[in-house]
Structure 1
């Protein structure tokens, strides 16, 4: 899809605004998105928010819950990342986290707001067409093994036995799939 502003570059950014119940959407390339002040429906928003572009996300995040959260604001203001030393006030001002540990330290603030902006707080990503089925099966296998361990700890042995049987079936399926793939490679077949 081409950028709706310059009509030259590939559009990679989708901006959506909802004002007075009306949804407006525009697809932009990275260059045009940098020049956000010249996007027609975004101008009124930018005039009302006196914040630099990098602070827009922070402004949106800070206004998402409108005070409806159960977060203790005094505790949040005291959060400091032990790894990079970033404070909550610095994060709020810049809209950027300092290191990977910041995600853990600022989780009390980030998680509820991310959940309100999208479905869930865990990145799921896309599954590749090639080997995608195997990845899903391996993830299911890992989940089943974790579930079985929890059942054993909870002394729910009958349910644990059922899960154990599912694990054996899944392991056999993965083994057979890998064997077929190896045979196909040796024979020069590229069906998958």
Structure 2
């Protein structure tokens, strides 16, 4: 559906107001909704957005409020288009949005797969304790099943973690 005002852009703001028992619908693009809210600020007429103007401003993306990396200047909208971050600092600046995105895509935002041996030294204390508990439980199961090869491998992994490698 096209914007009621400019008849060019796709309508993304849909407002329905009941004034004096008369229902008025407005279908506007983001730019026209913002213009209309600024032009009719404080008015309570069907032509303007009246008290809804502030609400509409909060919903619309604003260049001033758009999140950007402080190091490379990449905007979050640009990342969403390209799928690539500009620098390592982008992970810090877009941390909240990236966690939400990963949770939506993968169902979780924490890594649960294998790691290279080099990265075991980079584990936090909590991750190290969780990994140690999981390995010991798997070791106990392997011994109970009399799978001594797997038990030996698991024992070695526990020792590596204990030694901090």
So what's the TM-score if we normalise by structure 2?
Answer: 0.32
For the pair shown, the structure with the greater C-alpha radius of gyration is 2
So what's the TM-score if we normalise by structure 1?
Answer: 0.28
